[in-house]
Amino acid sequence: MPIKILSNYSDKNKKLTKSGHGIVQWRAGSNQEEIKASCKGANCLFLKGGAFMNPVTGKTILRKKIVTMPGTSTSDPTYHDKEGNQVMKVDSCFAIMGTPYLSSYRMQDDPRMKGIEGLKRAIENAPRKADRARGAVVGNASTIMTKEELEEVDSTIRRSLKHHILYDHAWRINPWVLDHAVASCNHIADIKKAISMGASVCSVVLPQNIIDQYRGKRIDGFHMTQCPENVSPKINCINCGGKSGPLCDAKTRSNLVIMFQQHGNNSWKRQKQKIIGNISKAATPDEPTTGDKARDKRRRKIGVSMTLEKLQEAIKRGDKQTVLTIAEKAMRKVSKATAKKYQRFLEVTCEQ
């Protein structure tokens, strides 16, 4: 029975690669059905997301018991339980809901990408300078393959490449996976548990304001740090860690907790980008038509992206006057309720 993986060498994934530097990657599952089953088998919290959870204890809290402070362009939303403890809204997985899963559809009918031979082919296709692979770009390894199969995958990679980045959500049920994978934890108490079960590196997804509270601290001797990709546009998995290699290689790194800013469909980061995009669209005046539909569309797109750039820059610099000017233009195009929402978000008051 072939090992249930789909592999390729790609420079298309912006989170994992830089132009001219691709990465060998494999998916846990040889088709979409198996990929989804592997996530379900791991009882992954991020498969659905949306629940409210205490980030320290992992206790879930009913939505009706949550006090919400809405987010703005400069601050994240905060959620508290009735006792005043900060809680978080659980993110949803961007991989199973996005391109890594969707692109498996194209790959699943290609026998050249399947099993250990497919992985070897992906490694052969990588240039000589390639030094790392990313496992389970979507799907969960330990719930789709045996310990022996994962050992074979890992040793095949390490025979040619120095590093193998891999996370697993089912380390509680399959602790053997911790020999190869970072323990994907749901909350702080989970981290302690993973360490006690033998994890060398743990990861956890948190809102930025909670990451800020924990950065630089230690949990049972493990140093807590934020994924460098979150804080620098120049770093991602392809060059993370410099010569020492990526922080998320569980075999070559140890005593680390990598904190990731929420980035899934439920995250404030994505919601914020969407609101800023909508404001920019509303604030961009329509140009007189040229009679050429495609040309009009192109001009409109350029206009909106220029407004977007200006607004993002103004928010970043704290330039209230520019934010207000853009806001006032947008307010003229939207309903009263939306105008109120945008003003609250941009923290400005416009003349009506």
Residues in contact with ligand SF4 by the rule CB under 6 A: 165, 227-229, 236-237, 240, 246-248, 258
Q: Which is nearer to ligand SF4, 194 or 240 (CB)?
A: 240
Q: Residue 108: phi, psi to the nearest 5?
A: -65, -20
Distance CA 332, CA 237 (A): 43
Give the whole-angstrom CA distance, residue 271 versus residue 217.
29
Residue 90 or 258: the one with the smaller Cβ distance to ligand SF4 is 258
Nearest in space to 6 (alpha carbons), one of 123, 158, 113:
113
Smallest separation, CB 258 to ligand SF4 (Å): 5
CA distance 309 to 211: 27
Q: How far apart are CA 337 and CA 7, in angstroms?
A: 48
Residue 336's identity, in one-letter code, is K
Q: In the complex, what is the shortest distance from the CB of residue 126 to ligand SF4, in angstroms, rounded to a whole number?
A: 17
- For the bound state, the minimum distance from the C-beta of residue 92 to ligand SF4, rounded and expressed in Å, comes to 18
Min dist CB 247 to ligand SF4, Å, is 4
204 in Cβ contact with 191 (< 8 Å): yes
Question: Smallest distance from the beta carbon of 16 to ligand SF4, in angstroms?
Answer: 7
Pairing of strands 182-185, 86-89: unpaired
Q: Which is nearer to ligand SF4, 28 or 165 (CB)?
A: 165
Looking at the Cβ atoms of 232 and 352, the one nearer to ligand SF4 is 232
Distance CA 38, CA 30 (A): 11
Q: How many CB atoms lie within 10 A of CB 26?
A: 28
- Measured from the CB atom, is 133 or 240 closer to ligand SF4? 240
Measured from the CB of residue 249, what is the shortest distance to ligand SF4 in angstroms? Answer: 7
CA–CA dist 274, 95 (Å, integer):
19
Distance separating alpha carbons of residues 205 and 337, to the nearest angstrom = 33
Beta carbon nearer to ligand SF4, 185 or 247:
247
**What is the token pair recorded at 305?**
């992206």
- Rounded to 5°, angle at Cα 206 from 247 and 308: 95
| CB nearer ligand SF4, residue 113 or residue 258 | 258
Minimum distance of ligand SF4 from residue 238's CB (angstroms): 8
Pair 180, 146: CB distance under 8 Å: no
Q: Which is nearer to ligand SF4, 96 or 240 (CB)?
A: 240
Within its chain, how far is the Cα of 107 from the centroid?
Answer: 22
Q: In whole angstroms, give the CA distance from residue 130 to residue 186.
A: 31
CB 18, min distance to ligand SF4, A: 11
Q: Is 27 helix (H, G, I), strand (E, B) or coil?
A: strand
- Residue with smallest beta-carbon separation from ligand SF4: 240
